Structure 1
Amino acid sequence: MTEPSLLESSSRTNPELDVLFDQSPVGMIFLDRELRARRTNAAFRQLIGLPDEAIIGRRPSEVEDLSIRYWATARPIHWRTSDGTAWDERTLGEQVIDRGVPVINMHVEWTRAGKRRILSWSGYRVTENGRVLGALLCFLDFTNHAQSITRTHARLDLLERAGSQIGATLDIHHTARELADLAVPELADRISIDLLDQVLEGENLPRTNSDALQFRRVAARDSVASAKARYEMGDLVTVPVTSPLAVALLRGTSLLVRDPAEMRGRFSDSPAAVEAFLARGVHTLMVVPLVARGVTLGVASFFRAEHPEPYGEADLRLVSDLASRAAVCIDNARLYTREHNTAVTLQRSLLPQHIPQVPGLRIAHRYEPATQTAEVGGDWFDVIPLDTGQVALVVGDVTGHSIHAAALMGQLRTTTAALARLGCPPEEIMRQLSGVAADYDDEIGATCLYALYDSESRRCRFTSAGHLPPALRHPGGSVEFIDVPGGMMLGVGKSRYPATDTELPEDSVLALYTDGLVEHPGQDIGTGMSDLARTLTAGSARSLDQLCDSVLAGLGAGARDDIALLLARTTVGTAR
């Protein structure tokens, strides 16, 4: 006959213990020394959803349809401590019952009939007059708090990843795609991002007085690859100002639509859109404005279909934080696009609009601005006919970027032309240009190559301020780089700019260029100059325009810096 337990014997003499044990809101189970259940209270039975007859007399591992796992692990174990140590009934008996070491506030996952709960439990040894009777285990339902912790950690992790994954480039479309990639499928089963057209052009955003707003679809992603969308990338999305997208943008407030019925009410002016959502399986959605520096740039729409849980207020706060970070990156790209376009426009307006034909030379030229992955620079070139019958050929490169570089380039080009027409020698012109650059900005310098050519003698006088040497293609096709003494860059400090004279053979081609043509990341500039020589040799000598094109095709593809290229072929008499 089994000896009565402490709880059983005590209840006979102290019935109030029965009341305390049974009415406790904490789930409790008493196990004997063999870990067999001897008594449970109502809170425990309700917590695990089993009656006493399914529990009493059995060990935890023997209870039918009962699975206990450590929180957030997949291994089927009975217990696991917070430091990762696995528990089973043997170690439970050895630690709690045999050694008397209590377990305090351990978290376990309890799954029964597909219902998952997170429990916090504690256990300690029970003794009577020095005799070990068993262990009392106490359980609290920790599910809601645990899920809140999980969501908080997931939210912080997502926002941390957003800081490193969104805004890697200054490209609006790429930034929008980064937001879409981060959101699907973790936050949404589908996302669409729509920006006002003005944002894509880098323009200021005007207030609208019309009855409709026009968005441009810049990014979309769906977890179902075969899912059809009403709008594709680049499509114009026109919506009335009363639509949810327009309201979210104009008011700068987010919208949460919790179920299909509310979806039909909110989007009553677009029944076709609602039916498309429902056909996709969407049951809840959020529309969040993209706001940066007080300007609303567009909206991001998040949809759930496969996710069983509808969006809630916590999700809305999360995507609002996420959208705010993405909006700043998009606005940075917008401002960059505007400045880049302005700089390119300014630079092109300051470059020569017409290259004159001069006696003794045939001229061809090309200018290529930097790609969108880099800011525009201040490369320039010029051909300046002089009253003496000579001609000045100039190429230069401002080392700074953006509008400031373009502005300095314009000043240098204007000053060069004025001094050349006044008859100043190349050495003096370069010295004056250095003063202009020094007065402009301490952080901006420039390189320049000035060539003064006399068609009668075919003598050319070169002066350089830190610029790359000119290349000369001989009539036979061989190419050499003319050794021009290199003075310091313009604006860096006082320097002498010695000149050198060279006679150019008839029907030779002189190439003046900027470093964007021959300098590439990860490649030695000597390699680029060798490639230039090889391209000039291989190119067609019959047409300078074709030679310009072949040089750019061979060396300038995907250039990250501006390229200015000026080719001049020596002739006899007046140029044709």
Structure 2
Amino acid sequence: MKAALEYLGEATARIGTRLDPAETARALAGALVPRLADAATVYLSEGLFTGHRDDGHRVEGHRVEGPLRQVVCLPSVTVLTDGLEEAMGSGESVLGKTDLAVPLQVRGRILGAVLLRREQGFDDEIELMLVAQLAAQAALAADNAHRYRVSAAAADTLQRSMLPTRLPRLAGIDLHHRYLPASDHARIGGDWFDAIPLPSSRIALVVGDVMGHGMSSAAIMGQLRTAVQTLAALDLPPGQVLRQLDGLAQGMGEAYLATCLYVVYDPVARRLTFANAGHLPPVLMRADGTTELLAVPEGVPIGVGGVAFEPVEMAVADGDRLVLCTDGLVEVRGSDIMTGMEGLRTELARRRLSLDAQCEELIRALPDRQDDVALLMADLQGIPASHVARWMLQPRRQTPAKVRRLIRSTLRSWGLADHIDTTELLATELVTNSVRYATRPVELRLVRTDALLVEVTDDDFALPVLRSAADDDEGGRGLQLVSRLARRWGATRTTTGKVVWFEQPLV
């Protein structure tokens, strides 16, 4: 009896540690052959191999419900079927002269069956007890593995649904990304990335990572990503975005922590502005092939509270490549995380490829992955100076007429004569409003990409409001025209006033 109990303990441990139904079936067959049987075949419900809820095979008289999959057969040349339907239908073991069929049953559900054959038959009560116990353990392990898969699939679906499926196509920058869930489904996490268009042809690049794993981390990630998008739409400076995000995280009522790197790229000024909340620094791959880890402030994670996030600006050149990632790309067990970052920098320095190929090469070079990976790469291309026109205008009554002349001459020189009338009308409306309230020079800027961007900046902090104008109102129609005739328009406060802008499509 002692030897039987030792065998049962060892076999149960092997069977019960699997988180895959097929592995569980193979462990069961391996434990039974040759110790208790000459041959074994394990069948499992097909539903156990999906990421959906499976109710298994219900016991209904002698009817077997749903498809079965033959998972393992030992020896491989032997296929056993005797007693299968009877065992599945009755929920009881079926003993023949040299055959034994045992249903795999757990929590009132039949998930499959194991069929055994032994030339000397099965007449030892202890051996029958061992088979029944191992079958019960295998059924429990297979059911737990399936439940685990269902939960992991739900978390993975939730996480993926909250990440962008494609990045925006914007002037002055080319973007590529990769996202890979953890190889171990238990470690569904809160990694995210984003690329958010901003006024003035700028773009915000974001990577973040909610600490912890599982469904709750994925849900918190979704809330934080949505909050970043909302704060970015307000065109807050990067440090203020993270400060507001920190306050939001504290208001969630739980001790949630997340790292986040928020970067704004201005393709006209060719400048990057960073703010960091405890995230890994980015790597900059210069156009000449040299690489460097950027010295951005480390900061503290979102959710700590009571801290400022210091912004840092730096100039970049056309052809530079910015690489942002989460720690799953560089983390190596037993090594310092910055050693992994240095390895990433070295890998990038080996050779420059296209963005897509470079992403693939970095992913292929990954060590054994234990965590999610979010990778965001950007080629910084800039907007040519010849596609930008800028004037500082005194707030005088004659200024709107001057604006019309400037727009006509500029658009003709750009080959955009067909767009003069609408652009002139809308720009005049914005400038007229600025002249009325500004006390210092008004800036007019035109930027030509695949759209024509017109911006008017002044020192008045009051944002224009779109409203309905009655027939006898003297004003209020300017923004209505802008709203109807422009593809997009908006207004944002700056540190010295506001900027109002609109876009006209060119294609």
Q: Provide TM-score, normalisation by structure 2.
A: 0.70
Counterparts of 1:56-455 in structure 2 under 5 Å?
Answer: 152-206=1-55, 213-222=66-75, 228-230=77-79, 244-257=83-96, 259=97, 284-305=98-119, 308=120, 310-372=122-184, 374-440=186-252, 442=254, 444-455=256-267
In structure 2, distance between residues paired with 1:215 and 1:502: 62
Compare relative contact order (CA 8 Å, sep 6+) and give the higher one, 1 or 2.
2
Deviations 1:122-171 (A, max 9, x none): xxxxxxxxxxxxxxxxxxxxxxxxxxxxxx22331122113432233422
In structure 2, distance between residues paired with 1:219 and 1:446: 44
Gaps of 5+ in 1: 1-151, 232-238, 260-283
1:562 matched to which residue of 2? 372
How far residue 567 of structure 1 moved from its aligned partner, in angstroms, is 0.5
Letter in 2 for 1:458: R
Deviations 1:67-87 (A, max 9, x none): xxxxxxxxxxxxxxxxxxxxx
Q: Which piece of structure 1 moves more, 425-434 or 202-211?
A: 202-211
How far residue 575 of structure 1 moved from its aligned partner, in angstroms, is 8.4
Letter in 1 for 2:226: T
Letter in 1 for 2:73: A
In structure 2, distance between residues paired with 1:484 and 1:296: 58
In structure 1, distance between residues paired with 2:320 and 2:94: 70
How far residue 330 of structure 1 moved from its aligned partner, in angstroms, is 1.6
How far residue 340 of structure 1 moved from its aligned partner, in angstroms, is 1.4
Letter in 2 for 1:297: L
In structure 1, distance between residues paired with 2:233 and 2:350: 37
How far residue 505 of structure 1 moved from its aligned partner, in angstroms, is 2.1
How far residue 443 of structure 1 moved from its aligned partner, in angstroms, is 5.9
Give the number of the structure whose alpha-carbon radius of gyration is greater.
1
Aligned length: 382
**Residues 539 and 551, structure 1, Cα contact 8 Å, conserved in 2:** no
Partner SS, residue 569 of structure 1: strand
**Residues 280 and 327, structure 2, Cα contact 8 Å, conserved in 1:** yes
In structure 1, distance between residues paired with 2:89 and 2:307: 59
1:550 matched to which residue of 2? 361
Partner SS, residue 399 of structure 1: strand
In structure 1, distance between residues paired with 2:71 and 2:151: 21
Deviations 1:370-389 (A, max 9, x none): 11464221211100001232
How far residue 486 of structure 1 moved from its aligned partner, in angstroms, is 1.8
Deviations 1:473-498 (A, max 9, x none): 01111111111112221224433222
The change in CA–CA distance for 1:188 and 1:494 in structure 2 (over 3 A counts) is farther
Letter in 1 for 2:31: L
How far residue 309 of structure 1 moved from its aligned partner, in angstroms, is 5.3
Partner SS, residue 166 of structure 1: helix
Letter in 2 for 1:201: T
In structure 2, distance between residues paired with 1:393 and 1:340: 28
Say whether residues 1:505 and 2:358 are aligned partners: no
When the two chains are superposed, the root-mean-square deviation of aligned CA atoms in Å is 2.4
Letter in 2 for 1:565: L
**Residues 64 and 89, structure 2, Cα contact 8 Å, conserved in 1:** no
Partner SS, residue 317 of structure 2: coil
**Residues 152 and 186, structure 2, Cα contact 8 Å, conserved in 1:** no
**Residues 276 and 296, structure 2, Cα contact 8 Å, conserved in 1:** yes
In structure 1, distance between residues paired with 2:320 and 2:363: 19
In structure 2, distance between residues paired with 1:575 and 1:312: 82
Partner SS, residue 345 of structure 2: helix
Letter in 2 for 1:162: A
Gaps of 5+ in 2: 384-448, 452-507
Identity %: 40
Partner SS, residue 457 of structure 1: coil
How far residue 511 of structure 1 moved from its aligned partner, in angstroms, is 0.3
